[in-house]
Structure 1
Amino acid sequence: MRIHFIAIGGSAMHNLAIALHKKGYQISGSDDVIFEPAKSRLDKYNLLPEEMGWNPERISHYLDAVILGMHARIDNPELIKAQELGLKIYSYPEYIYEQSKNKLRVVIGGSHGKTTITSMILHVLNFYKRDFDYLVGAQLAGFETMVKVTEDAPVMIIEGDEYLSSPIDRRPKFHLYHANVAVISGIAWDHINVFPTYADYTEQFDKFINTIEAGGSLIYCKADKDLNEIVEHSKADVKKNAYAIPEHEIVNGITYLLPERTALKIFGDHNLMNLNAAKLVCNELDIDAKMFNEAISSFTGAAKRLEVISSDDLTNVYKDFAHSPSKLKATIDAVKTQFTDRKLVACIELHTFSSLNKDFLKEYAGSMDNADDAIVFIDLKSFEQKRMEPFSEEDVREAFANPNLKFFNDAKELKAYLLGLNYSNANLLMMSSGNYAGFDLPELAASLKR
């Protein structure tokens, strides 16, 4: 098979390219710019394009298929050439389905917790040396790539994103996988640039349920009222299984599952609900509760999901991918609940299209109230890159409805403020889907004053 990737440098795209290369396919690709770690990974497998940029001469009748990344535009010259030649053009979720249509497909959807639930399932399957394929949205310890596709694995675990599939396919990715076992972790409005109203957004999850194969299973969060209404009214031919927070206790900053008192390396209500979702999926894969608990006790979390940067007896520093209002609140609440006697300094970088949309900003009201020191940072370049109208410090304060909130749009000033705080018996939580204008978080953590 000869496959060409347009926009091969994307997170999922370069991982899929490597996975297909390992499967024996002949892979080529193009992009206008490729960043690390994709650049080094592609180079390792001799898949890095010799020249950056788009060249229609790369497209010919010899190709069996073209996979189109979301980064490409509809006027991309390679895409136009492929269309003129009548080549089969896939989005990457379409091609993932092609690779897994003869397997049992587990698809994890929802506005939050997808990567963590997927990671937990992979960890447990790996613990018991099960044979499986996967697509996950973060780099995991023990897994070289974020995508694996083989001929023989009987099951594929897929993180199902609700964002669009490609520039020419406006369907949400998770609609294309046709799950046998599906998870919906909850619904919290996101991607306002694509789904302008809450109703538009929730509709995608209703449609997702209808894509589940007849007789399949739907595992969903009982705590989400709107999700429960959607599931209750769905006429899809699926088994419905709700989950909630498992029984547990917290002792000296460690969470234990009850009644077995299984010690966990993770914490927080959302992580515990994610754990129960993963447990139900694993039960569908013939891993019982006792086996699951034994395996999950060594799970340390997905990258950038309450990831520990540094830790000692007085101070923990975490980084987290939280960016939407519900994720922000849940992450702050988790750290405060786990360490009730410690002050919490919490900083969020507004970076996504939704969070930088002035109309959406009011959704953040009250989301940082549980932090002792609440900080919002915006890199002004983010507005420029996304071609969006900047808003002021006053707009941010009003939207968050927090009179004590501190605002920064200069990375140096933010860093100086953070370094000037006293972290004796205090935790620092840095949240962003960006990079704080190039912050070196480990270096920052090592420099904190007591």
Structure 2
Amino acid sequence: MHHKSTIRIIFILTASLLFGTRLSAKNLPQKDNPDNENLLTNQVYSDNIHTVQFYREGWEFSQPVLVLGSDQHLVLKFDDLSGEAQTYSYTIKHCSADWTPSSLIESEYLDGFFENTIDDYEYSVNTTIPYVNYLLRIPNDDVKPKISGNYVLTVWNNYDHTKPVLTRRFFVVDQKVSVTGKVKPATYDSYRGPNQEVDFAIQHPDFSIQNPRDEVKVLLMQNGRWDNAKTDLLPQFIRENSLVYDYSEENVFKGGNEFRNFDMKSLRVNGKGIAGIQYLSPLFHVTLYPDKDRHGQDYHFENDLDGHYLVKQDNVTDSDVEADYAMVHFSLDIQAPLTEGNIYVFGELSGWQRNPSNQMAYSIERKQYELALLLKQGFYDYEYAYVRNDDGKIDTSLLEGSHVETENNYQIFVYYRGISSRYDQLIGYQVINSANQ
């Protein structure tokens, strides 16, 4: 048995080198300039930029939500693989609930300077791929948001607003209402089985809402994903000091499955999910065990990070600059290619998006879908998403299965705009976990 496993690992490593990508970090191509609409979504516009993280300080897996007037900070981290320090500036734009620009000018929503430089950076230490790690905290001595709502942070190349580097959405909440809710199996027969229903209520005893259907908007997300978020929910019942969202269809999500994961905290020994590690100049190649289609399989609980990842290298003091990069090789065993769509490696490691960079290619010889991604050392969640050519929607259930028992986090954002207000306030935020009911 050990002999067969060894042969299998050698085969995987050999195959990975055949479809692997050789990297020249200083000659990475630049992406096309985005349009204005893209500048208000989570995007990376330079192929030199990797491992973008944005979260509430102290909890790497949190959504970038800042409580107005608190001592909390949001942390933005990213690596520049050009190998040289760059001058990066940043701006902050206030947006409406639908993520279009609000009509406010900077002085109405920011205290401080309207454009600033990211001065906190550090060169990587003893890595095969050199990079510069950048760090930004919001708020800081230069700028802080002074009203609630949606915001977009844009990083620019040397103050040049024709050269965006990355954009990230974040939230500032002024908690004026409370949100309670629960996750349960879907009510309607047509949705029963693998689907989860998110029922919730907004309590506002100390906050006056005159016309809830016009003044209140809600954003409901699953694990921080934007592609399947619900945005057009209206209160089903309007009661004294309470708005009830107890639908049986509009607030239903596919339960999905627990995420697959692998442990790349060491490049010396094979961690969980890793079949082999080999150094091929100029970088390490990490080959994962081949995955199989999980559709139709019984539910099996496994602890995961709800699709996120943790940057970490074993036995170092600062993983931000000491963790190395490696080309990680994914493979999904499927006997024949799916001709009506494409398969993507999906999760926070892909920015919760489908792009050419995370699209898999089918190998007729090996009868599997394959992809190589350049990733920083750490522990990663991932799954496989299928996107049909006709509608472009991301579907993880076809290859992963879907179960009502799956543990998911649901984020609920509550916005308010009174009849005389000029912007959407974010007045409530709550996270509901499907397993803690």
Question: Fold conserved (TM > 0.5)?
Answer: no
Bin of the TM-score, shorter chain as denominator length = under 0.3
Larger % of helix: which? 1
TM-score, L = length of structure 2: 0.25
Q: RCO greater where, 1 or 2, for CA within 8 Å and sep 6 or more?
A: 2
